[in-house]
């Protein structure tokens, strides 16, 4: 198995991550979302200056398997919102998401964030629950006229004693 390395997003990597995002949606979520939902979620790989700015505007960590991206996650260091969490289909189930998430949570704690939040897909929800997140009721989201679903989730970063007080 190829060794995984992780680094912060670098300018010019956006198109590769857009392709990973698109493949992850179309190949990696087949068990939870039908073809119409996947097409609405990602009609084409995101690319260009707006996509690059979205990745640059967040703390974006990228996992690499050699010279190929294996996954990435983004965190807004101001709000604690984890916006994007995607792993290439061939790397799902190999601990890539856990490595990325562990580093992002440490980053959030260094920034003094009290809580993290996200809107997790059907497939991401069990992963976040294993990381100690709490979920809310399933919610409907419309994209390009198609209804998808996800789960609002949150995790307190306050120590247990502070939460109990």
Residue 1 scores a pLDDT above 70: no
Position 158 confidence tier, pLDDT thresholds 50, 70, 90: confident
Residue 161 scores a pLDDT above 60: no
Closest residue by Cα to residue 115 from 150, 89, 62, 79: 79
**Are residues 139 and 150 in contact, defined by beta-carbon separation less than 8 angstroms?**
yes
104: exposed, middle or buried (C-beta count within 10 Å: 0-12, 13-18, 19+)?
buried
- Which helix H or strand E contains 108, and what residues bound it? helix 96-110
Domains and CATH numbers, the chain: 4-164 (3.40.630.30)
Residues 6 or more apart whose CB falls under 8 angstroms from that of 30 comprise: 38
- Residues 65 and 13: their CA atoms lie apart, in Å, by 14
What pLDDT, on a 0 to 100 scale, did the predictor assign at position 55?
A: 97
pLDDT digits (tens, 9 = 90+) for 72-98: 999 999 999 999 999 999 999 999 999
pLDDT digits (tens, 9 = 90+) for 107-142: 999 999 999 999 999 999 999 999 999 999 999 999
Position 163 confidence tier, pLDDT thresholds 50, 70, 90: very low
**Are residues 123 and 102 in contact, defined by beta-carbon separation less than 8 angstroms?**
no
- Residues 97 and 85: their CA atoms lie apart, in Å, by 8
C-alpha distances in Å from residue 156, one per residue of 6, 108, 119: 25, 11, 15
Residue 160 scores a pLDDT above 90: no
Beta bridge partners of 68: 65
Closest residue by Cα to residue 100 from 87, 111, 119: 87
pLDDT digits (tens, 9 = 90+) for 3-31: 999 999 999 999 999 999 999 999 999 99
C-alpha distances in Å from residue 12, one per residue of 52, 82, 111, 118, 150: 8, 22, 26, 26, 30
């Amino acid at each position: 198995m190829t060794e995984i390395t992780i680094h912060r997003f670098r300018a010019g990597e956006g198109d590769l991550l857009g392709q990973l995002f698109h493949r992850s949606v179309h190949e990696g979520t087949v068990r939870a979302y039908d073809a119409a939902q996947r097409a609405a979620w990602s009609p084409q790989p995101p690319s260009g200056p707006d996509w690059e700015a979205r990745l640059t505007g967040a703390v974006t960590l990228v996992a690499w398997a050699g010279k190929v991206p294996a996954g990435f996650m983004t965190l807004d260091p101001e709000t604690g919102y984890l916006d994007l969490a995607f792993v290439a289909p061939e790397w799902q189930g190999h601990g890539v998401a856990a490595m990325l998430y562990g580093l992002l949570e440490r980053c959030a704690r260094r920034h003094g964030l009290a809580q993290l939040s996200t809107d997790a897909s059907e497939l991401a929800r069990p992963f976040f629950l294993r990381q100690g997140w709490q979920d809310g009721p399933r919610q409907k989201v419309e994209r390009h006229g198609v209804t998808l679903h996800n789960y609002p989730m949150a995790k307190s970063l306050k120590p247990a004693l502070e939460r109990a007080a």
